[in-house]
Amino acid sequence: MTDAAIPTAASLRQTVEARLKKRHAQEMRFRLYGRMAIIVALCFLALLLGRIVTQGYSTFVDYRIAVPVYLDPARIDKADPTGANYDMLVAQSILTKLGEQDDDLGEKSGKVMEIMSNDLGFQLLKMVREDPSLIGKTITVTGPVKSDAALYFKGQIKRSTPQDSRKLDDQQLDWMDKLKASGAVTSGFNVSFLTNSDSTEPEQAGVLGAIVGSAMMLLVTAVLAVPIGVLAATYLEEFAPKNRWTDIIEVNINNLAAVPSIVYGLLGLAVFINWLAVPRSSPLLGGLVLALMALPTIIIATRSALKAVPPSIREAALGVGASRTQTVFHHVLPLAMPGVMTGAILSLAHALGETAPLLMIGMISFVPGVPEGFTGAATVLPVQVFIWENASERGFHERTAAAIIVLLVFMIIMNLAAILVRRRFERRW
Amino acid sequence: MPSQRDDSIAHDTVAPVHIAVDRAHASQPAGPIKIRARDVNVFYGDKQALFDVSLDVPENSVTALIGPSGCGKSTFLRSINRMNDTIPGCKVTGRIELDGEDVNDRSIDPVVLRARVGMVFQKPNPFPKTIFENVAYGPRIHGIATGKAELEEIVERSLKRAGLWAEVADRLHQPGTGLSGGQQQRLVIARAIAVSPEVILMDEPCSALDPIATARIEELIDELRNQYCIVIVTHSMAQAARVSQKTAFFHLGKLVEAGPTGEIFTNPRDSRTQDYITGRFG
């Protein structure tokens, strides 16, 4: 470099200052982009959550009808109480309450049955079967109104719609107004949505079966995937020699984490159902498939948590004469635990929301109760959402959104747990 | 691992100089030989980090290993208790004898060896557990203490010997990581002492400490000398001169010169030693 090319202090300063404006502008631009990206993401999140909540919140309010029914001995055979038409009894009692007389063809009572749930009839049947001495007495039954009726109360079926393009006619709407005004129909928190399982009637369908199914399936997944994953990762990271074979294994584990989940469903179908004859549609089967799916993620999370433990701890333990196993299990793994647990919980949360592989292994079936053990038929929350979304009744649509809310609540709880575990154990450093 | 860094670059440029081993032994400090190293070569993969190092370490004294970064002094230190075993691709040849037994012999279990040869590292590395647990860990895994009372006694004795007891006696069950750097290093020394080792290896034990904490550790090293054979790697020439009775100067993976500390510092035989201790390079 010649002397002429060396800038003087003053000119150097000028050059730097001229560029300075540009540099600041660049920084401002970058910050702006960042903020915009976050705002867009938040908007989408708000839109998504807002839509789900506005669609689903109405499920948590239900309308129940209370009606006194005279158990007429003339119509209920004491010897065979199950043979009587309890729906008709309830319908006619409601008509009486409305001050109407049923016609000979039973047209009016038929119309009443369209606004009351058949749950009322079932309740009567159950009571009479348990205690036949009730026959001849008047007892009050309380049960949900039909989901279409509830939609009218919630304002989703409007009187302004022409009569022939809505499910309920004017007379039924009049009756319902009257029942509501008389206090026979009351509204409240929909407990049955959380205590009932799936049903063909939207007003009786709930998520309990799906919640229990999900919990059982997740338990199977956790019991299998977490210990196997953590131990496999520990072996690979701390004990296995670093050679071509372990490299190949590592690459393959990373690849497995990226395999589409439906492929795991196919694998489950081929291996667990066709070969090992695990009962289909059971929490055990779902748990096995999801455990396969969660394994690579848990292994990767555990390995990176183990890598993050400073080598000085290993040296310290080895230095006082701890064996390799003692070093790992007394010091390294406990220190990696927050990372391991976070990874495990997040991959279990992921498994909780998984639907595709479960469809492959036949979990998409109508299961009207809580699963009977790990090999019984079960459904799980995301699949329940899928099933209800495909249903034709309007009442199931709001339940779809409500089930999504329940699923999201569980997800949030699991993610919070992951954060808490991390915070709780990180203090030790 | 500092020793891995720049050895290979340097080998090609510097002609190998053979130091007569006997010359180093000629003026040995008194005391029986505890560790006898002969023709030790260490390789990290294809890279050779130590070349034919032969050194005698006397009992009940402090031997300092000095030399510029990457000269192989830490590598040599870690060969003595086979800490190099944990590094993939590391190979050690030659003999390192501890009381006449080859430490690399198949009959020697590294776990037992490391109980006999304790180690203190550059950065204080207490376990993220309580002070008590830190010291009790070694005795516990080796089954040294038979009961809780004996374990407590060992912990107290070790902490006292490490000069830390007075400062931590009332907070034994608080985390060891909460101590100051100098205290942590003394805790680590107590942890090493707790398994009653014969040799204590120290890899730049004061490089992360302030001068006051350093002085405290040096004092401690001087006290411990009566009971243990101590080998210390240090970058501070002054420290080597203060604490050691014997000094070995390493350069580019070779042992250039070893002898009584006084001689090395006042009358080195090799010009490289002379240059290094007078600060002309390194």
Per-residue pLDDT of chain B (282 residues; tens, 9 = 90+): 444 444 444 444 433 333 333 333 334 445 788 899 999 999 998 899 999 999 999 999 999 999 888 888 899 999 999 988 888 888 899 999 998 888 888 888 888 899 899 999 988 999 998 999 999 999 988 888 888 899 999 999 999 888 889 889 899 999 888 898 889 999 999 999 999 899 999 999 988 888 888 998 899 899 889 889 999 999 888 899 999 999 999 999 899 999 999 888 888 888 888 888 887 765
H/E run at residue B217: helix B211-224
> By the CB < 8 Å criterion, does B188 face chain A?
yes
Residue B25 confidence (pLDDT):
36
Q: Which of A399, A304, A336 is nearest to A52 (CA)?
A: A399
Which residues of chain B are within 8 Å of residue A425 when distances are taken between CB atoms?
Answer: none
- Over residues A249-272, the mean pLDDT reads 90
In three-state secondary structure terms, A23 is helix
Residue B205 contacts A, CB cutoff 8 Å: no
Percentage of chain A exceeding pLDDT 90 = 26
Mark yes or no for CB contact B128/A321 under 8 Å. no
Asked if residue A320 lies in contact with residue B126, where contact means CB atoms within 8 angstroms, the answer is no
What would the two tokens of residue A107 be? Answer: 């047209």
Residue A315 is nearest to which of B125, B141, B191, comparing CB atoms? Answer: B125
What pLDDT is attached to residue B281? Answer: 66
Nearest partner of A253 among A227, A229, A285, A220, judged by Cα: A229
The two structure tokens encoding residue B66? 């000095």
Nearest by CB to B123, from A312, A322, A428: name it: A312
Tell me, what's the pLDDT at A2? 53
A242 and chain B in contact, CB less than 8 A: yes
Among A313, A321, A331, the residue with its CB nearest the CB of B111 is A321
A241: which chain B residues are within 8 Å (Cβ-Cβ)?
Answer: 88
Q: Quick check: B128 contacting A, CB < 8 Å?
A: yes
Contacts of B137 in chain A (CB under 8 A): 317, 320, 322, 330
Residue A146, pLDDT > 90, answer no
Computed over every residue of chain A, the mean pLDDT equals 86
Asked if B118 lies within 8 A of A319 by C-beta distance, the reply is: yes
Own/partner long-range contacts of B174-178 (Cβ < 8 Å, ≥24 apart): B174/B130, B174/B131, B175/A428, B175/B128, B175/B129, B175/B130, B175/B131, B176/B126, B176/B127, B176/B128, B176/B129, B176/B130, B176/B131, B176/B133, B176/B134, B177/A429, B177/B126, B177/B128
Instruction: Indicate whether A83 pLDDT > 80.
Output: no
Quick one: closest CA in A to B194, which residue? A320
User: Is B63 exposed, middle or buried (CB count within 10 Å of its CB: 0-12, 13-18, 19+)?
Assistant: buried
Three-class SS string for A29-47? HHHHHHHHHHHHHHHHHHH
For residue B161, the one-letter residue type is: R
Question: What confidence score (pLDDT) does residue A3 get?
Answer: 57
As given in the structure block, the two tokens for residue A424 are 């709780």
Q: What is the mean pLDDT of residues A86-107?
A: 79
Instruction: Label residue A206 by pLDDT band (50, 70, 90).
Output: confident
For B40-58, the pLDDT digits (tens) are 999 998 899 999 999 999 9
Dihedral sign (CA B270, B272, B273, B279): positive
Name chain A contacts of B114, Cβ cutoff 8 Å.
Answer: 318-321
Domains and CATH numbers, chain B: 33-277 (3.40.50.300)
Digit-coded pLDDT (tens) for A301-323: 999 999 999 989 999 999 888 98
Judged against a pLDDT cut of 50, whether residue A105 lies above it is answered with yes
pTM for this model (two decimals): 0.80
Q: Is B123 on the interface with A (CB under 8 A)?
A: yes
Mutation site for B-interface testing, chosen from A236, A246, A320 by largest number of B Cβ within 10 Å: A320
Of B112, B114, B175, the CB nearest to A319: B114
pLDDT digits (tens, 9 = 90+) for A377-392: 888 899 988 988 888 8
Residue A263 parent element (H or E):
helix A261-268
Write the residue in A319, A330, A331 that is nearest to B119 by C-beta: A319
| Cβ contacts of B126 on chain A, cutoff 8 Å | 316
B195 and A321: CB-CB below 8 Å? yes
CA angle, residues B234, B238, B241, in degrees to nearest 5: 85
3-class SS of residue B154:
helix
Q: Determine how many CB atoms are found less than 10 A away from the CB of residue A97.
A: 18
Give the model's pLDDT for residue A329: 93
Most confidently predicted of A61-65, A275-279, B76-80: B76-80
A331 touches chain B (CB under 8 A): yes
Choose among B88, B175, B191: nearest Cβ to A320.
B191
Helices (runs of H) and strands (runs of E) counted in chain B: 12, 10
The reply to whether residue B126 touches residue A316, judged by beta carbons under 8 angstroms, is: yes
Provide the 8-state DSSP code for B28. Answer: P
The DSSP code sequence of A102-164 is: --TT-HHHHHHHTTB-THHHHHHHHHHHH-GGGTTSEEEEEEEBPHHHHHHHTTSS-TTS-GG
Q: Are A351 and A369 in contact (CB under 8 A)?
A: no
- Token pair for A79: 């010897």
Predicted confidence at residue A5, as pLDDT, reads: 66
Render pLDDT for A92-101 as a digit per residue (tens, 0 to 9): 888 888 777 7
Residues A162-183 pLDDT 10s = 877 777 888 888 888 888 888 8
Nearest 5 degrees, angle CA A123-CA A124-CA A126?
A: 65
Query: How far apart, in whole angstroms, are the C-alpha atoms of residue B151 and residue B194?
Result: 10
User: Are B83 and A314 an interchain contact pair (Cβ–Cβ within 8 Å)?
Assistant: no
pLDDT at B21: 33
Q: Is B147 exposed, middle or buried (0-12, 13-18, 19+ CB in 10 A)?
A: exposed
DSSP A236: I
